[in-house]
Amino acid sequence: MHAIEESLRRINGEPVDTYRRVVVENNTVMIVEAGTTGYKGSRRDDGGRSILSVTCSRGDFHFEALTDENGDTVGFEVACCGDDALNALMKVLRFAHEVLDDQRRGIDG
């Protein structure tokens, strides 16, 4: 893995500090960025904002948006092939989990 880069993103107009890292696992390269404002004590409009972004610049990955019967995006799917891809995916998810967990300031919801 490479050094962590800090950034600021806006999610629905709200600033969110994010952390980005490049994960290299032999022939696989993925970029992960994650961040959250933490809990804000409310639902959608006044609640917290969170982001997770994953990009693969080298490797055998398939990313697909999942839609419902109305064509609305309701989720996503990630599939990969090979041991290196599995290791990289696990590192990406671990990094994202740690960032989000740290930023929510240790409050369990």
Q: 């696992």: which residue's tokens?
A: 25
CA 92, CA 32: separation in Å to the nearest integer? Answer: 6
pLDDT per residue as tens digits for the range 52-92: 999 999 999 999 999 999 999 999 999 999 999 999 999 99
**What is the structure's pLDDT at 7?**
96
CA 36 vs. chain centroid, Å, equals: 10
Residue 35, CA distances (Å) to 39, 62, 99, 107 in order: 12, 23, 6, 15
Higher confidence at residue 32 or residue 42? 32
Q: Over the chain, what is the mean pLDDT?
A: 91
Can you give the pTM of this predicted structure?
0.87
CA 70, CA 77: separation in Å to the nearest integer? Answer: 18
Q: For the CA atoms of the chain, what is the radius of gyration?
A: 15
**What is the structure's pLDDT at 34?**
97
